[in-house]
Every structure is written in structure tokens, then in C-alpha cells.
Amino acid sequence: MKEINEELAGAIADLERECQESPASVRAHHHLGLVYRQAGRLEEAAEKLERAIELDDQAGESYVNLGAIYFEMGLLDKALALNKKALAQLVKPAQAHVNIGLIHQHRGNFQEAVNSYQKATVHDPEFGMAWVNLASAQIIEGDYQGALGSARKGVELNPDFAMAHNNLAVALYFNKDYKEARAELDKAIAQGYQPEPKFVEALEQEL
């Protein structure tokens, strides 16, 4: 369990008290699950989100967040099932599609990951992480032109996200724009990203 700050500890105490006082409150159990997750208390977070779903089996956000926790715990089948349930409950299921894409990507099913990320961008074109992840999967699939467009969108929406700049650098490299690739890689490094050494070496050889 990681160390938590005073503000997070206070939020946990408040929500624990609310759950005791209002045991049928979906909102209280859901939010306590979220702060438990933030504190690294994954098993307790899962229990609270499961309780929220017991109280309201149409609580789409609880399905999504519980699925994300199970993904962190390595329980991929459970994570996939929960995110698929969320698709039927949420008006805007972009996050569920991204989560499903991550599961497929983790399992090496990259085309399925691409399909899931693309669905996320359709539901929410302004969801930067969907574009960043889509670029990653497209690069692995060899769709370098598609990856370039996705990566540029990811940087446009998340200019302060180091991984977005790294993905754009990789896409630019495979599209033979080595000078701009170096510039984007420098931005990623400046934001704290640690690039793959083999990629850095390959790029340097082209400059």
C-alpha cells in the first residue's frame, strides 16, 4: 500500500463514514472505491465498486472503474467482461472502449486493440488517450500513415503528455521524417519520458 497524503486520508475517512451512515448509497460506495484505488488499496476498491454494482446494476461508471482495477490486478477476463457490460450502460462509452483496447493490446491482439481505440475516438473525438493508444497499436500493426494521423491528434489534445510526443516521434520515424521525429522525441524526453534505447539509436543513424 502506498503512502497517502492528508487530503486523501481525509477523503477516505469521510466516505467510509458516509458508507456506514448510508449503506444503500451507490455514490458513496463508488467514490470510496475510487479513493481506495488512488491510495493503492485495490482489493478494497474492488469490493466497494462491486457493492455499488450490487446496489445499481446499471451503474456504468462503476463497471468501467472496477474493470480498470481488475486490469491492474491482472484479472483480464474479469476486466474485459466488466467493460463490455459498461458499453451497454454508458451514453458515452469511450473509456470502456479504451479499456477493452488495452486488454487486447496486453494480450497481443493488436488489430482488435486498434478497433477498440477507433470506436473510442468515434464516441469522443476529444479523448486524447484514445488517440495516443491508437497510434501505439497502429505502429505495431504497421499502419504508419494511420499512426501518424492518430499521434498528431494525440499531441494536439495532450501537448503536455510525454508518451504522446514519443508516439509521434516513432510514427514520424516510420514515415521517414527523421528531423521532426528527433524534435518530438526531445519534447518527450524533456517531459520525463524514457524512450526505448534501440529507437533512439535507430533514429540517430538516420540523422
Q: Is the Cα torsion angle 87, 91, 94, 96 positive or negative in sign?
A: negative
pLDDT band for position 1 (cuts 50, 70, 90): very low
**Average pLDDT, rounded, for the chain:** 95
Cell of 7: 487530503
Q: Percentage helix, strand, coil, to 5, in the chain?
A: 80, 0, 20
State yes or no: pLDDT of 178 exceeds 60. Answer: yes
Cα–Cα separations (whole angstroms), residue 116 to 72, 98, 100: 19, 6, 6
Q: What is the DSSP letter of 23?
A: T
Pick from 99, 104, 85, 165: nearest CA to 127: 99
The whole-model pTM stands at 0.90
C-alpha distance across the termini of the chain, in Å:
45
Q: What angle do CA 30, 16, 49 make, to 5 degrees?
A: 25
pLDDT digits (tens, 9 = 90+) for 136-157: 999 999 999 999 999 999 999 9
Cell of 6: 492528508
pLDDT band for position 5 (cuts 50, 70, 90): confident
pLDDT digits (tens, 9 = 90+) for 59-95: 999 999 999 999 999 999 999 999 999 999 998 999 9
pLDDT band for position 3 (cuts 50, 70, 90): low
State yes or no: pLDDT of 171 exceeds 50. Answer: yes
